[in-house]
Amino acid sequence: MAEAVAEAGAGVAPGAPEVPGVPGAPEVPERSRALEGVRGYGLIVAMWIRSTMTYRTSFFLATFGNATVQLLDFVAIYIMFSHVEALGGFSLPEIALLYGSCSASLGLADLLLGNTDRIGVRVRDGSLDTMLVRPVPLLAQVAADRFALRRLGRIVQGLGVLGWAVWALDVAWTPGKVLLVPVMILAGAAIFAAVMLAGAAFQFVAGDAAEVQNSFTYGGNTMLQYPPTVFGKDLLRGVTFIVPLAFVNWLPALHVLGRPDPLGLPGWVGYLSPLVAFVAFLPASLAWRAGVRSYRSTGS
């Protein structure tokens, strides 16, 4: 390493023609990978937003359509409640808390990282090649590729439903519980993001694993909209201890609602979501790195 740096710093060789502005070594500021990633991500996202904004009408239509579809989704649950009093022992506002929070979380993760589910195609057709020769971390480029602002639709809808839930709920709000609501959404988004990252990594090995990834994210989201009490214990253990989706909203929400966890975990576990998100990122990012290293391009 040190040797490499020294060599690179050697600058213009004696024999090289002296041309103004042509670098022996365009000094690249040493910054952390993460910062470079965020910066690159921002640049690409900004470009895609600008380019969608040139077709403003179609953007607004798409976002509006997206939000409407999402809203109809909740309307279905609303209608269901005109026939039943409770679902798995949960009232409509309680369900709305679950529904709104996991929608907002997934929406946020989907907005930021949603495009990673198509990386399998890029692995197979070798188009990652072009991203690998640019000075921006691959993940940032993949995540920002075709950034779609219309995905705000799901977030808006999620927050809307959540807002209504908070208003309608009959809960003794403590500072801790108030704080837990935004924390739940952000940590939930981070957990979904970790799952997406792991899924993307898996696609380096199995090119058509997008479905597997989607079953955890979108499928997981559908599951989390319903109270944990309607599911079997084995499933609950799986999503608590293996793929920690229960920490997205179930456990924090149970604490907010003052309800016991079906698995008997203590209430303060609801506060662990940020930690769980952090821990989930470790294997996910290791897997991602292994995936990138295994990339082998294509023969043509």
Partner 1 sequence: MGGGEVLISLDGVEKVFDVRRRVSLMRREKRQVRAVDGISFEVARGEMVGYIGPNGAGKSTTIKMLTGILTPSGGRLRVAGIDPARERMRLAHRIGVVFGQRTTLWWDLPLKDSYGLMRRMYRIPAERFARNMERCVEQLDLAELLDVPVRQLSLGQRMRGDIAAALLHDPDVLYLDEPTIGLDVVSKAKVRGFLRQLNGELGTTVLLTTHDLQDIEQLCERVMVIDHGRLMYDGPLRGLHTAGGVAESERTLVVDLERELPAISVPGARVVKVEGPRQWLAFPAGASAAPLVAAVAADYPLVDLSVREPDIEDVIARMYAGRG
Ligand X SMILES: Nc1ncnc2c1ncn2[C@@H]1O[C@H](COP(=O)(O)OP(=O)(O)OP(=O)(O)O)[C@@H](O)[C@H]1O
Cα-Cα-Cα-Cα dihedral sign, residues 8, 12, 16, 19: positive
Which residues here bind ligand X, judged by CB under 6 A? 296-299
Residues 105-134 as x/- pattern, contact with partner 1 by CB under 8 A: ---------------------xx-xx-xxx
Q: Closer CB to ligand X, residue 293 or residue 296?
A: 296
Q: Closer CB to partner 1, residue 135 or residue 266?
A: 135
Q: Residue 36 touches which of partner 1, ligand X, none (CB < 5 to 8 A by kind)?
A: partner 1
Q: Closer CB to ligand X, residue 102 or residue 123?
A: 123
Looking at beta carbons, which residue is closest to ligand X?
A: 299
- Does 56 bind partner 1 (CB under 8 A)? Our answer is no
- Does 275 bind partner 1 (CB under 8 A)? Our answer is no
- Does 95 bind partner 1 (CB under 8 A)? Our answer is no
Shortest Å distance, C-beta 18 to partner 1? 9
CB atoms within 10 A of CB 176: 13
Q: Which residues lie near partner 1 (CB under 8 A)?
A: 3-8, 10, 13-17, 19, 21-26, 28-29, 33, 36, 40, 43-44, 47, 50-51, 126-127, 129-130, 132-137, 293, 295-297, 299-300
